[in-house]
Amino acid sequence: MDQLLITKTVRRFSDLIERNKDSRAYSDFKEGINEGLEIAKDTFEENVGVFISLVSEEDPAVKIQRLQERFNLMIDTIAVKEKPNYSQDHLDGIYEGFERSKKLFGGCVKEYYKP
């Protein structure tokens, strides 16, 4: 995968995350969702070279599935440490944000690897 496609993917995913942050009135759950989305975005940006460099010239549908699986695994292995100021709602929101990021990522890669 060339550098331009990597840059486009990172930018597009980052934009999707920002647009999908919850802007309702303050709540611990909402803040957790936004934090989970931000953690997912940062994790992807930090690992994008290794993450996408393994993509070969295979069938686009298989490529999309492999990228999605790799992203899901990367997100599922993030361990969120409980902090004294995190309520259970906040922690639940972080994990909800992780789940949302998986769906957003799936839409993002489908744009660039249309079957």
Is residue 75 classed as helix, strand or coil in its secondary structure?
Answer: helix
- For 85, the domain range is 3-112
Cβ proximity of 105 and 68 under 8 Å: yes
* Tens of pLDDT, residues 76-101: 999 887 777 788 899 999 999 999 99
Confidence of residue 52 (pLDDT cuts 50, 70, 90): low
Contact partners, residue 108, CB within 8 Å, separation at least 6:
9, 12, 13, 16
Angle at 25 between CA 23 and CA 26, to 5 degrees: 100
Does the pLDDT at position 21 exceed 60? yes
Q: Taking the model in full, what pTM does it have?
A: 0.86
Quote the number of domains for the chain.
Answer: 1
Cβ proximity of 37 and 96 under 8 Å: no
